[in-house]
Structure 1
């Protein structure tokens, strides 16, 4: 196979990853708090820099500058997360909340890891789940993961008449003529959101900060108690721009077709060469 065909085949494989990324964005365009992914491509030529063994016998017939070999197509360099806020929609549901601001996140416990791992999410659609065989209920996500408050999971005695989540994160319940604060959401601000890694189910996690040379307080900070970061009875919608995704989809499909045509033309050229006498 010629290098032209190899480059086209490699690029087509990477374009398929971009098409999958666009499809995932469009499928989650109605998912609460979903953050879109943007694909960035890079040339594989940079991977050929300084890859020569250094054997002087290999230098005799060099046609490219020293330290550089012919590239082999393009690859999907990164899939960046767009953390800009989505549209906030009123729902009228007491346990629905939306965060005001791009870098604020709820903290939840990952029950699949015995609650030892903290995840971050923008999905403020909360639920109440019973706690074992007690009369208590716990504030959880739709997947059943506990939502963290200032002192841990938010657990309250069942049987209240009303519940309301305040703009400062306090959770108020009413029993008859009495109201009480049963917990306060532990909302954090992620200073460097680009470090967050998607873990599925609309959740994110931090990488190993020690390997990156960061301290936890350089990345995660408590929110200012004087700032109201919550809008109650509302949800943040996905920030996916469907029209932009459709444009990117058409562009990626055209690029895929052009590279496929390159392989077809290369095959026809080889066929014509083989027919020469």
Structure 2
């Protein structure tokens, strides 16, 4: 196989990954709190081909004697765009929308019997009964506990109403009294590019040992006295449909171009083989 065909085949494989990423963004354009992903490409290693046996002006020559030919491109990284999406009023007391970019709710996800802290921008919360219906727990729409300052937020039953204030404080009404039932633990992603998408609109911390970071260099707490969220509203996806469609067309044209490169190279090789 010629170098040209190898370059085109390698690049086509990586372009398919970008097409999958764009398709995922478009499919989640209406998902609450979804953050778009962007693909960054990088060139693979270059090979130096010496095509000059006796280069002109060899003495004192500054330019290389040969030709540098790359071996294609690869998907260098997938970056998360935590920019704010449009906020839509819902009027539902347990719906919350974060007001600052890079801010995240913390949730607890259990996989294979192991609890793991994950992060999400989706603020559509629900109440799930626990402790033989003696209490309710604040959860996501998937049933995962929402983490407060002291762990999962569990509220004894018997309250008449519940609301979430703009600083994350959860307040319930019992008779004529308003009582604090907990406070949402909202954090800020200092290095959002290091977060790993896990599905279900959530993120996790990467392997900190491998990257040489500690947790505080990626995730930091927020000031509980600040206005952190808006209650009775949800943040919509920040996917820009027009940009995604433009990227889709560009990626498709690049894919077709590389496919045509393989086809033309094959035809040229066939013509050479037919020469007598």
Q: Using the alignment, how far apart are the partners of 2:27 and 2:269 within structure 1?
A: 42
User: Any gaps of 5 or more consecutive residues in structure 1?
Assistant: 50-60
| CA contact 1:109–1:115 (8 Å) conserved in 2 | no
Deviation readout 1:45-72 (Å, 9 max, x if unpaired): 25x69xxxxxxxxxxx9x9969x97421
Deviation readout 1:145-195 (Å, 9 max, x if unpaired): 100111111111223221110011111112333221111111112222222
Return 154-163 or 8-17, whichever deviates more: 154-163
Q: Using the alignment, how far apart are the partners of 2:44 and 2:218 within structure 1?
A: 32
> What are the residue-to-residue correspondences of 1:24-63 with 2, within 5 Å?
24-45=24-45
Structure 2 residue aligned with 1:189: 188
Q: Using the alignment, how far apart are the partners of 1:213 and 1:18 within structure 2?
A: 28
Q: By how many angstroms is 1:214 displaced?
A: 2.5
Structure 2 residue aligned with 1:95: 94
Q: By how many angstroms is 1:220 displaced?
A: 2.4
Q: Using the alignment, how far apart are the partners of 1:83 and 1:25 within structure 2?
A: 13
Divergent runs of 4+, >4 A: 63-66
Q: By how many angstroms is 1:219 displaced?
A: 2.7
More helix by share: 1
Deviation readout 1:184-223 (Å, 9 max, x if unpaired): 1111122222221111111111123233332323332221
More strand by share: 2
CA change 1:251–1:204 in 2 (3 A) is same
Structure 1 residue aligned with 2:200: 201
Q: By how many angstroms is 1:132 displaced?
A: 4.3
| CA contact 1:119–1:204 (8 Å) conserved in 2 | yes
| CA contact 1:189–1:221 (8 Å) conserved in 2 | yes
Q: By how many angstroms is 1:269 displaced?
A: 1.1
Structure 2 residue aligned with 1:56: none
CA change 1:110–1:65 in 2 (3 A) is farther
Q: Using the alignment, how far apart are the partners of 2:192 and 2:263 within structure 1?
A: 43
For normalisation by structure 1, the TM-score amounts to 0.89
User: Any gaps of 5 or more consecutive residues in structure 2?
Assistant: 56-62
RMSD: 2.4
Return 23-32 or 203-212, whichever deviates more: 203-212
**3-state SS in 2 of match to 1:35:** coil
Q: Using the alignment, how far apart are the partners of 1:225 and 1:218 within structure 2?
A: 20
Give aligned pairs, total: 266
> What are the residue-to-residue correspondences of 1:145-164 with 2, within 5 Å?
145-164=144-163
| CA contact 1:45–1:69 (8 Å) conserved in 2 | no
